[in-house]
Structure 1
Amino acid sequence: MNLLIIFTYPNHKSLNYAFLQKVIKGSNENPNIKEIQVLDLYEEGFNPLLVFNEEKRRRDMYKDPEIEKYRKQIMWADKIVFIYPIWWGRPPAMLLGYIDQLFASNFAYKDKKGYFPEGLLKGKSVVCVSTMKGPTHYPFFWLNNSHKILMKRALFNFVGIKKVKFFEFGYMEGPKGNQQKKLEKVYRYFKKIDH
């Protein structure tokens, strides 16, 4: 199994970075994981801005040479892991900009007759590890589960990825957040996954 980790947080002295280290540690100890690639969007200097003009058209985004290496990473990966905070009920703009550019028509999906397209990323799976300041169940009770609906239904299912696992960790800035316990939970998960 090839594992692509997409890390979206601007501070390497953070809890999110600690989650990244646990994912890497567990994955390195897992004999089912053949190779790991880490894409740190902030460290990479990824440009999340969409630009469309006479030279750069939306319909051609799937073959944009500036993001070819990122498309190759997605195609290479069997499992994609996203690590990010939940800000204002959704992932950071940096990650959404990555999604806007990479999950493009004719790369991630293909339009066809009817309501739904053909997902072109079938067979891959996703794990989302997200942190938030508020309560763990805040997105579910107060935001009608909008985070999971956005990521699973509006994005991953749309492009053919059916297997999506979520770790939504709340109270991460408080003394009662059980941060160490949650870090260990993620580590154990990645140490054992087999597909």
Structure 2
Amino acid sequence: MKKRLLVIDGHPDADPARFVHALAKRYSDGAEQGGHEVRTIKVAELGFPLVASRVDWESGDLPPDIRDAQDAIAWADHLTILYPLWLGDMPALLKGFLEQVMRPGFAFVAREGKLPEKRLKSRTARLVVTMGMPALFYRAYYGAHSVKSFERNILRFVGIRPFAHVLIGNVEGNASARAGWLDDLFDFGEAGI
């Protein structure tokens, strides 16, 4: 089944040498090979302020890049979100992007005396997280807390599920391991997952 796939490259550094960018490109290449429709958002190339108050978040002006990102998310069947682990969590620019894009009225609607209405149901997601430490150590010792928080507090809150994640450790390691991960991302894209 052909899908509408959105790739969100969450690396805050636009330098093309960053491994996250290569992974995002391979996923997109695989998706195109698989006959899927693909769109890409590169967070490092967007212009938007950080949300600084509740008023900003609930009713502040929506920057054009954020409006375009919301349109792409609304269009998509599946989101693949890639980012490097920085200080144990997603980079601040990606968090700022998510705070802008997942605003009330778009991603959810508050309801008096009830849980919010989840507006992004029927979408699935995969997180791809790179890190310098071994992925097994991050999962075993730190409990993959950033990934769990992203899945529970953002994706599930707005109705995106099911979701999967891939942890890629030792990114500064050997080239053959990186080549294997690039092949895996191509395969995920081709399969639309």
* TM category, shorter: 0.7 to 0.9
Alignment match, 2:119:
120
Alignment match, 2:29:
25
Q: Give the conservation status (yes or no) of the 8 Å contact 1:171–1:177.
A: no
Poorly superposed stretches of 4+, deviation over 6 Å: none
2:8 matches 1:6: yes
The residue identity in structure 1 corresponding to 2:26 is K
SS at match of 2:142: coil
Q: What is the alpha-carbon distance in structure 2 between the residues aligned to residue 8 and residue 157 of structure 1? A: 19
Give the TM-score normalised by the residue count of structure 1. 0.86
* Structure 2 unaligned blocks of 5 or more: none
SS at match of 1:153: helix
2:170 matches 1:168: no
Cα shift at 1:92: 0.9
Q: What is the alpha-carbon distance in structure 2 between the residues aligned to residue 159 and residue 182 of structure 1? A: 29
Q: Deviations over 1:120-154 (max 9, x none)?
A: 10001111111100011233222233122111111
SS at match of 1:20: helix
Q: What is the alpha-carbon distance in structure 1 between the residues aligned to residue 18 and residue 186 of structure 2? A: 17
* Structure 1 unaligned blocks of 5 or more: none
Alignment match, 2:105:
106
Alignment match, 1:149:
148
SS at match of 1:111: strand
Q: What is the alpha-carbon distance in structure 2 between the residues aligned to residue 52 and residue 187 of structure 1? A: 40
Number of aligned residues: 188
The residue identity in structure 1 corresponding to 2:143 is N
Cα distance change of structure 1 residues 134 and 111 upon mapping to structure 2, 3 Å threshold? same
2:53 matches 1:49: no
SS at match of 1:107: coil
SS at match of 1:178: helix
What is the root-mean-square deviation of aligned Cα atoms in Å?
2.2
Cα shift at 1:3: 1.3
